[in-house]
Structure 1
Amino acid sequence: MSAAPQFPPLLSGRMTAGADPFAAACRAAAEGCDAGLILYDPGPEVLRAAIVLAPEVPLCRAMAMLPLAQVGLQNALGALGPAELPVQMEWDGTLRVNGGHCGGFSACASDADPAAVPDWLVIGFSLRFVPESDEAGADPDRTALYSEGCGDLFPQDLLESWARHTLAWLHRWEAEGTAPLHREWSGLLTGTDGPVAFGGTTGAYLGIDEDLGLLLKTENGTRLIPLTAQLTETPA
């Protein structure tokens, strides 16, 4: 597919030609690019993309864009992939398809202060289409879309669908708040049956709070891990 991806109004795209879209999006954001820019690398084996956002709310609330983008991708796979394709998320951003690790999400902001309104927020993801190994079952915990019945799915089509679904969820979040997103995302979460570990804290999963933070029951009581704990350093 040689034509450039078609994005909905308010969004624009730029291909990175093999470079890391997440790092490129962070650089573009720091240089003052317009919000809604999607950097992407629709490689034949792995689709990588990142979107630049300009929040108007404190970071603690703006981080809802991370699970929002995850729901957008799940919706896109649901629309284009095989019926009943099980797509789930772990709270830390790991994406699983039919139980196997298939990709993940990351986030970076201009300011890590939860109470501050950041100049920009970048959400990125990677999604594997082709298995890492030619040997079937080489790593039973990992999979790829083409191993899960998605052989007719093109990375560019999924990228376009993700952009549309993510924008639709963004409009809904602006109009209705976090509650609909909370319901949708909590239904996608997996890896919560046993001990859950993040950032040196391990406990039993209790749920997610109104800001989509992780609630764990630990030996020292209930612990809340906010979504801002998932922020990464600005890529070099």
Structure 2
Amino acid sequence: MSLPPLFDPVDVTGQADPFQRACAMARAGCDAGTVLYDLGATRLRAALVFAPEVPLRDAVVMLPLCGVGFQNALGALAPPEVGVHLQWDGGLRLNGGLCGQLRIAASGTDPAADIDWLVVALDLALWPQDEDTGHTPDQTALYAEGCADVAPQDLLEAWVRHTLVGLNTWDDAGLASLHRDWSGLAHGMGEDTVVQGLTGTFTGVDERFGLLLKTDQTTALIPLTDLLKEPT
């Protein structure tokens, strides 16, 4: 596994869910930059451990940052006609179909508090679950979308590298570049959707990537911290 300096790869293929194991290792005090991965036959799963020195409400931008990193990584490896789009909730879409998911967890839940660690995990389908894809027209997989030559390890390495570039840009120059890049990839912006039981139009995100949902009565703000998962 060829990763940038300060990243430490940990192979858990066939042993554990990288997301859950990463959260456990982070709680135990592992270093930021730990990368756990499971290069399975049908799925690529991986998790990155971060140690952001900002409050949780600012640190959760690691989710869209990792999404843009994934798009940049696959964009460099896949044929140019393959379109990658990002859902606000971490969903990853290839050519319109849902192909994977990013998840996020942290050491705390108070948006204003500093945190000890944060984990972002990638779960990507390599092959469709069902050979008859007509049963799940909204679902797809990497190799069903013209990416048969993309090796999972190459994609994982590229994801880490491009995420590091985004992390350095965020650290040096703030969120402007990330906002611009993510908004150009956002799936469903301007369309009607349902989020947390609210129905409205997804009009964009605020400065901290909270979702703006315009309803008949008002515009609701759903903070990105609402997407935090509880690791088991």
Task: Tell whether the structures are fold-level matches, with TM greater than 0.5.
Answer: yes
SS in 1 for 2:73: helix
Residue matched to 1:47: 44
> Structure 1 CA distance, aligned partners of 2:103 and 2:93?
15
SS in 1 for 2:9: strand
1:23 and 2:23 aligned: no
1:145-173 deviation digits (Å, cap 9, x = unpaired)? 11111111111110000000000110011
Residue matched to 1:205: 202
Q: After TM superposition, where is structure 1 displaced by more than 3 Å over at least 4 residues in a row?
A: none
Residue matched to 2:10: 14
Residue matched to 2:110: 113
Q: Is the 8 A contact 1:92 1:198 kept in 2?
A: no
- 176-185 or 220-229, which moves further after superposition? 220-229
Match of residue 180, structure 1, among 177, 180, 187 = 177
1:64-90 deviation digits (Å, cap 9, x = unpaired)? 111000000000000001113100011
1:2-60 deviation digits (Å, cap 9, x = unpaired)? xxx11101211101122100000000000000001011101121100010100100011
Query: 1:194: Cα distance to partner?
Result: 2.8
Match of residue 216, structure 2, among 204, 215, 219 = 219
> Structure 2 CA distance, aligned partners of 1:152 and 1:24?
29
SS in 2 for 1:171: helix
1:98 and 2:101 aligned: no
1:67 and 2:76 aligned: no
> Structure 2 CA distance, aligned partners of 1:219 and 1:118?
37
> Structure 1 CA distance, aligned partners of 2:217 and 2:11?
48
Query: 1:136: Cα distance to partner?
Result: 4.1
Q: Is the 8 A contact 1:58 1:115 kept in 2?
A: yes
Residue matched to 2:134: 137
Instruction: In structure 2, list runs of 5 or more residues that go unmatched.
Output: none
> Structure 1 CA distance, aligned partners of 2:3 and 2:198?
40
Instruction: In structure 1, list runs of 5 or more residues that go unmatched.
Output: none
> Structure 2 CA distance, aligned partners of 1:41 and 1:33?
18
**Superposition RMSD in Å:** 1.1
> Structure 1 CA distance, aligned partners of 2:160 and 2:70?
8
1:192-228 deviation digits (Å, cap 9, x = unpaired)? 3432222222211221111111111123311111110
1:88 and 2:90 aligned: no
> Structure 1 CA distance, aligned partners of 2:5 and 2:197?
42
